[in-house]
A and B are shown apart, each in its own frame.
Chain A
Amino acid sequence: MESSVIVLLQVGFMLLLSPFINTLMKKMKAILQGRQGPPLMQGYYDLLKYFRKETVVSEQASWIFSITPLVVFSSTLVAALIIPTFFHVAAINFLGGIILLLYLLGLGRFFMVSAAMEPGGGFCGMASSREMMLSTLIEPVMLLSLFVFATMAQSSNLTSIMNWLSGQGLALITPGYIVAFLALMIVCIAEMGRVPFDNPETHYELTMIHEGMLLEYSGKPLGLMFWSSWMKQLLLLSLLASFIPPWKIVDFTSLQSILMAILLYLLKLLFLCLFVVLIETTIAKVRLFRVKDLLGASFVLAIIALILSVHQATAGGIKP
């Protein structure tokens, strides 16, 4: 009973709120830059518009091009169910490992890259080669920084990691934890395709990465692709939010505790959005060839975090 409610809540939240969160970030950024910004419902209007439009497919494109939006959308949705959002329990907690999460995102990315090369557009090919370059740098860092938490909690299942986190309280905030969180944050911003790495708002051919791969899409598939990229953004934000204190083990019998957990989660999410937007307004986009420096730095951060946490564990600091 309770798990089905969680699944419903989480699916509904991920599907319905992700356009809103994206527009919210746009609006915040606009306000910080002294512009008016889009109305808060703009994401939904956009989706409606895309779903009403006609679909045009290139003659060169094969079946991969047409199934890709479905694959990307469904893999992102499943990935979104693995991570804990409102509660310390994820919607699907029997198979939810860190590795599965990363490779579900990887599956979507693989299809997106191969579909972008299908219609034979020049910019699509360039964007997909860039995306692959970035992903080879992102994936190890993300895996390593999540492994830091996994070694602390002695489980790679996100629900058990959250259980352990909520049990520990503030004593958990060790140097290793903070450094790992920093590394995870850098890499999540890279994976979201936001500013120091990629600018979600430009449409210049030479700078775009994620947008470049969607150039040949139109109509409903384009809507699905946008929707899944917003969902991925919300997913990564919630992943980050779940590692920010304070944590609470939710008592599912009392309504008050459930509402508190939802409120807390939304607050964390708002805070993270604000943070990402602040980074976006204050820092310029890094040149593509400098991106590897930044991601390399976050890899070293993750290594340091791993050393510090293992060191702490062997020196008898915290009990797993």
Chain B
Amino acid sequence: MSLDILTPERISQWIGFLVAIALITGVLMVGCRRLQEMIRLFAFQSFVLALLTLLTGFSAHSLHPYFAAGITFFGKCFLIPYFLTYVMNHVQMRREVETVVSLPTSMLLSGGLIMMAFYFSHFIPISGTDLLSKLLGLSISLVLIGLFMMMTRKKAFTEVIGLYLMENGVYTLTIATIFEMPAIIEMGIFLDLVIGVLVMGVWVYRIKQTFDTVNIEELRKLKG
């Protein structure tokens, strides 16, 4: 395929764009007010990551990344968001995000986290090429943002989304470092994710059943 838009320099440029879009969606996920929007943003970010995988697969001339991209596309763009929406509707909680830190402040803080991540990604010796170091920065910042989200949100449900944001970060790291992740491992990880979301959905539901709330602060009270 000798398309003009797919020369190595162009691919690097496209990857840069996708990294920027993924970063922005990460920050928007921290900043958005509604759970439904958050789930949609997660699906969109996974779509961006799937595209990233496709591009790296193209530049590495191997078949495995295509497979990983397909799995990511179907799983994280459709299956997991669908299930999360289902759980959200089933639990019947308030649809707004409740936070410990206010939303603008948490957006600013996540900007700081991104800065830190990109700064420290320079010190990791594997960051040889430009492409690799960009993806590395993205993955560290997604992990940090996900962790931050898990720390500051009050609902058990948002913790699940934070965890999946972190997983997206780890996934980015795998596409940045190992171009040829065997398909069987990818399948295993994916199975883990799906089982994870099922278990956590049931878990959120049970919390709601037992405590009548999914607010974590309330969970300190003893119920007997």
Contacts and interface: CB of A to CB of B under 8 A. Distances in A.
Contacts of B144: none
A301 B130 contact: no
A175 B15 CA distance: 9
Interface size classification for chain A: 20 to 34
B184 interface: no
B104 A315 contact: no
Contact of A174 (B13, B104, B111, B133): B13
14 contacts: A175-B19, A178-B20, A292-B104, A293-B103, A296-B104, A296-B108, A297-B27, A297-B107, A300-B110, A304-B111, A307-B115, A311-B134, A312-B16, A317-B130
Interface of B: 13, 16-17, 19-20, 23-24, 27-28, 31, 103-104, 107-108, 110-112, 114-115, 118, 122, 130, 133-134, 137
Interface in A173-196: 174-176, 178-179
A69 B108 CA distance: 37
Interface in A297-320: 297, 299-301, 303-304, 307-308, 311-312, 314-317
Nearest to A182: B24
Contacts of B17: 175, 178
Given A307-B115, A307-B118, A300 B108 contact: yes
Contacts of A178: 17, 20
Contact of A304 (B20, B31, B104): B20
Contacts of A293: 31, 103-104, 107
B104 A311 contact: no
Nearest to B122: A314
Given A175-B16, A315-B130, A296 B107 contact: yes
A315 B16 contact: no
Give the 7 A-B CB pairs with smallest separation, nearest first: A175-B20, A296-B104, A300-B111, A315-B130, A303-B111, A175-B16, A307-B118
Nearest to B129: A315
Given A307-B115, A317-B130, A176 B20 contact: yes
B101 to A, nearest CB: 12
A304 B107 contact: no
Contacts of B110: 300
Nearest to B21: A175
A187 to B, nearest CB: 15
Contact of A303 (B115, B130, B134): B115
By secondary structure, the A interface counts as helix
A19 to B, nearest CB: 37
Contacts of A316: 130
Nearest to A303: B111
Given A296-B108, A311-B133, A304 B27 contact: yes
Contacts of B122: 314
Contact of B31 (A174, A297, A312): A297
Nearest to B133: A315
B24 A301 contact: yes
A303 B26 CA distance: 14
Contacts of B24: 179, 301, 304
A213 to B, nearest CB: 26
Contacts of A301: 24, 27
A308 B114 CA distance: 10
Given A307-B115, A307-B118, A316-B130, A300 B107 contact: yes
Contacts of B27: 297, 300-301, 304
Contacts of A315: 130, 133-134
Interface in A20-75: none
A297 B134 CA distance: 22
Contact of B114 (A174, A297, A299, A304): A304
A253 B112 CA distance: 49
B107 A311 contact: no
Contacts of A300: 27, 31, 107-108, 110-111
B161 to A, nearest CB: 19
B23 A311 contact: no
Contacts of A308: 16, 19-20, 23
B172 to A, nearest CB: 15
Contacts of B13: 174
Contacts of B103: 293
Given A175-B20, A297-B27, 17 more contacts: A175-B17, A175-B19, A176-B20, A178-B20, A179-B24, A293-B103, A297-B104, A297-B107, A299-B108, A300-B108, A301-B27, A303-B114, A303-B115, A304-B23, A311-B118, A312-B130, A315-B133
